[in-house]
Amino acid sequence: MAARIRHHVDTAGLHALLQSPNGGVAKDLFRRGKKVETKAKQNLQRSPRRVDTGLLRSSINTQLLNDGGHLSVRVGTNVYYAVFVHDGTGLYGPKGSYIYPHTAKKLSWKTKGGKRIFAVRVKGMKPNRFLADAVSAAKG
C-alpha cells in the first residue's frame, strides 16, 4: 500500500520568517544583540574602569538593520572616546608609545579631589575591551 504525501511551501510565510523585521529571525537577532549590549555595559564596570559620568555606558545601543532583505544587528556607541576606552591609549594603545603634549611643555589635568597634576609624558590607559568581550553573550 502506497501513501501519497504532498508538500506545499508557503513562500510568503517563509519570506516573512527570514527577512521581515517582525519575523522570527529578526526577533532572534535583536534578542542576541540586546544580550551583547547588556554584557558590554556590565564590562564597563570591570577593571580598568574608566566610566565617570555613565555617558558611554548609556550610549551603547542595539539596532536591527535590513539591507535589501539581509538582516543584521549592530551593537555600538556614537561616543567619540569609546575607541580610546576600548583599545587603550599611549603605551597600551595601538601606537604603543608615551603621550606627550603637543602645544605646551607639560600635560595638565585635575583629579577628582580638585588637585592639579602636571606631567611631561604619561603612559596612557589600559584597554577595556568592553564590546569585543561581550560578543560571546550572543551565543545563548
Question: Cα–Cα distance between 61 and 63 in angstroms, integer?
Answer: 7
Q: Is residue 4 part of a domain?
A: no
pLDDT value for 118: 93
Domain tally, the chain: 1
The three cell numbers locating residue 48: 580598568
Low-confidence residues of the chain: pLDDT under 50: none
Q: Which of these, 28, 140, 34, lies nearest to 20 by C-alpha position?
A: 28
Asked if the bond preceding 48 is cis, omega within 30° of 0, the reply is yes
Domain span including residue 24: 12-95+128-135
Q: Is residue 121 part of a domain?
A: no
pLDDT value for 32: 95
Which residue's C-alpha cell is 558611554?
56
- pLDDT tens-digit readout, 7-39: 888 788 777 777 777 888 889 999 999 999 999
C-alpha of 49 from chain center: 16
Q: Is residue 64 part of a domain?
A: yes
Average pLDDT, the chain: 89
